[in-house]
């Protein structure tokens, strides 16, 4: 089998990138179907496909059905998943979740590693450890994996791999991509965790057929990824979609960002816990808060209802500003979704302007393994589009 070449040799033109990314999302597909989906000419598709076949990135799938009813059998094109492997790592406040995927973003092996410290040195060392374990699971993985992607909450500049600020780790100005590259010897990209998950949903998930959509995550924080006209919005300085820091209550609680009445200060898991704890003056965690609400505790249920109103108002603001085809709701906070869904939808409908209220709200439960896979998808995307950057 041909050796894996560099990105410049494999994806030398926008046409090659477009053909490959199309097959990645919808393949196997015939050349005729690729022409239809991409808008390229037959000659342009043929020119783009040839080097991808020669390099082993694409294969022709055997199909006994004749093309157009006559002539030689059709040979649908498909991405050869085992041509390359990618590692994605999701960093949380308590652990690393890592997965290795093939070129088709199929998750093959996943691992969890607890974090006993938030120091940069400890986290980077644990990244090196988990990457080594994943690569050791197969000889093919080590020989065909050159790319690592890390997703982390906070202010991240993907062009430099710099973490400007990560609230859950209390990091400021950390050159994470550089440090991870030194620890793993893999080309490393760092992305905001919600944007990485948004890329995965755009390519392979709930946004695959939408030109514009929004992914909102609820849980430890309130995150938001935005796709407009097929482009993920990153922001001029690496900051975009900070829905959690939209102020919606003038006299609301103080947010960790320093402002008052932010969505995150009302609707995050910690905010819900704090609202209940302030009333009862007792220790509890999100699981205990959820149990209290399900048992009918009025204070706990009121805290969840308030969270639903806050999220619904925030979603309406997004719908009014962007007009997406759909909003996907995900995150670990969905464990209590039934406790605030009614308030969320009622408030969304009440505050969405005109036709914006027709935006589809869709629930997407995604475990943290999917967030790690999302990071790997960023690495796949960046490999394909390297020459256009």
Nearest to 9 by CA among 40, 54, 41, 44: 54
pLDDT for 26 equals 85
Mention every residue, 6+ apart, whose C-beta is less than 8 A from residue 176: 120, 124, 150, 152, 161, 162, 163, 188, 190
Whole-number Å distance between alpha carbons of 18 and 80? 16
The dihedrals phi and psi of 25, each to the nearest 5 degrees, come to -85, -40
Omega of the bond leading into 240 within 30 degrees of 0 (cis): no
Q: Virtual CA dihedral for 97, 103, 104, 109, nearest 10 degrees?
A: -30
**Residues of the chain below pLDDT 70:** 1-10, 63-74, 238, 387-389
pLDDT for 8 equals 45
Q: Token digits for 153?
A: 């909450």
Q: Are the C-beta atoms of 372 and 98 separated by less than 8 Å?
A: yes
Helices (H) and strands (E) in the chain, counts: 14, 15
* Region for 278 from its dihedrals, namely left if φ exceeds 0, alpha if ψ lies in -120 to 50, beta otherwise: alpha
Q: Are the C-beta atoms of 289 and 274 separated by less than 8 Å?
A: no
pLDDT for 6 equals 45
pLDDT for 281 equals 85
pLDDT for 35 equals 94
Report the SS3 class of residue 32: helix
Nearest to 386 by CA among 4, 105, 49, 9: 9
pLDDT for 66 equals 53
pLDDT for 301 equals 97
> Model confidence over 62-118: pLDDT tens digits?
765 555 555 555 689 999 999 999 999 999 999 999 999 999 999 999 999 999 999
The dihedrals phi and psi of 69, each to the nearest 5 degrees, come to 85, -15
């Amino acid at each position: 089998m041909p050796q894996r070449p560099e990105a410049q040799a494999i994806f030398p033109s926008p046409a090659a990138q477009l053909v490959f990314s199309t097959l990645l999302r919808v393949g196997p597909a015939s050349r005729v179907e690729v022409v239809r989906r991409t808008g390229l000419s037959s000659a342009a598709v043929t020119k783009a496909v040839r080097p991808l076949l020669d390099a082993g990135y694409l294969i022709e799938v055997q199909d006994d059905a004749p093309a157009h009813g006559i002539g030689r059998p059709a040979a649908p094109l498909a991405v050869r998943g085992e041509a390359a492997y990618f590692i994605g790592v999701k960093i949380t406040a308590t652990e690393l979740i890592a997965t290795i995927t093939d070129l088709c973003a199929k998750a093959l092996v996943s691992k969890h590693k607890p974090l006993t410290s938030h120091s940069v040195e400890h986290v980077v060392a644990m990244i090196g450890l988990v990457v080594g374990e994943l690569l050791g699971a197969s000889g093919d993985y080590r020989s065909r994996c050159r790319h690592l992607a890390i997703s982390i909450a906070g202010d991240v500049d993907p062009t430099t791999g710099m973490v400007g600020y990560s609230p859950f780790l209390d990091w400021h100005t950390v050159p994470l991509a550089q440090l991870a590259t030194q620890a793993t010897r893999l080309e490393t990209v760092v992305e905001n965790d919600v944007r990485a998950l948004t890329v995965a949903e755009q390519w392979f998930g709930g946004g695959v057929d939408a030109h514009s959509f929004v992914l909102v995550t609820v849980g430890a924080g309130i995150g938001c990824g935005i796709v407009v006209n097929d482009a993920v919005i990153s922001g001029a300085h690496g900051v975009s979609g900070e829905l959690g820091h939209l102020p919606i209550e003038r006299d609301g609680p103080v947010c960790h960002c320093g402002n008052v009445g932010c969505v995150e200060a009302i609707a995050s898991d910690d905010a819900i816990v704090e609202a209940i704890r302030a009333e009862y003056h007792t220790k509890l965690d999100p699981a205990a808060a959820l149990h209290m609400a399900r048992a009918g505790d009025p204070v706990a249920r009121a805290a969840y209802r308030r969270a639903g109103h806050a999220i619904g108002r925030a979603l309406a603001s997004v719908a009014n500003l962007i007009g997406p085809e759909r909003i996907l709701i995900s995150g670990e906070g969905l464990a209590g979704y039934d406790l605030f869904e009614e308030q969320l939808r009622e408030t969304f409908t009440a505050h969405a302007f005109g036709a914006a209220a027709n935006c589809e709200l869709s629930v997407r439960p995604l475990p943290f393994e999917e967030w790690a896979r999302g990071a790997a998808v960023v690495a796949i995307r960046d490999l394909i589009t390297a020459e256009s950057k």
